[in-house]
A = this chain, B = another copy of it.
């Protein structure tokens, strides 16, 4: 008789939630010509202000070349622009006016989607879950 342990179930459920979430997210973003990786960059810049590729890459746990590519696509779309800094190696990025507008537009659809699938989960529960996920993330990164 095999007993599935709680911690095993936890991560299995985590993976099982990720796939359908990303699927629906990509369909939604696709309507605006965007993908998940691009969206997370827009989100970061909109909420945390101008950043360099290295900051973005570290924050999102991807390698620099991955971030370079994502940023170049967003630049082609003219959603991002570089702002000069003292350090000439750095390329600090910020949203253009167009980028901000697109972010706000997409935000409306995503809000609707996210609120919809959080149906039945109280704000208190959401906050608790955020706290747990943050703690795990920190355990992984430390």
Interface residues of A (CB under 8 A from B): 2, 4-21, 23-24, 36, 40, 43, 47, 59-62, 110-111, 114-121, 123, 125-130, 132-137, 139-141
Task: Describe A's contact surface by its main secondary structure.
Answer: helix
Q: How far is the CA of A4 from the CA of B61 in the complex (A)?
A: 22
| Smallest Cβ-Cβ distance to A21: which chain B residue | B140
Copies of this chain, whole number:
2
What chain B residues lie within 8 Å of A24 (beta carbons)?
140
| Smallest Cβ-Cβ distance to A117: which chain B residue | B139
A-B contact pairs, 21 of them (CB 8 A): A5-B111, A11-B21, A11-B114, A12-B40, A12-B43, A13-B130, A14-B17, A16-B61, A17-B134, A17-B137, A17-B140, A19-B60, A19-B62, A20-B61, A20-B140, A21-B137, A21-B140, A117-B140, A118-B136, A121-B135, A129-B132
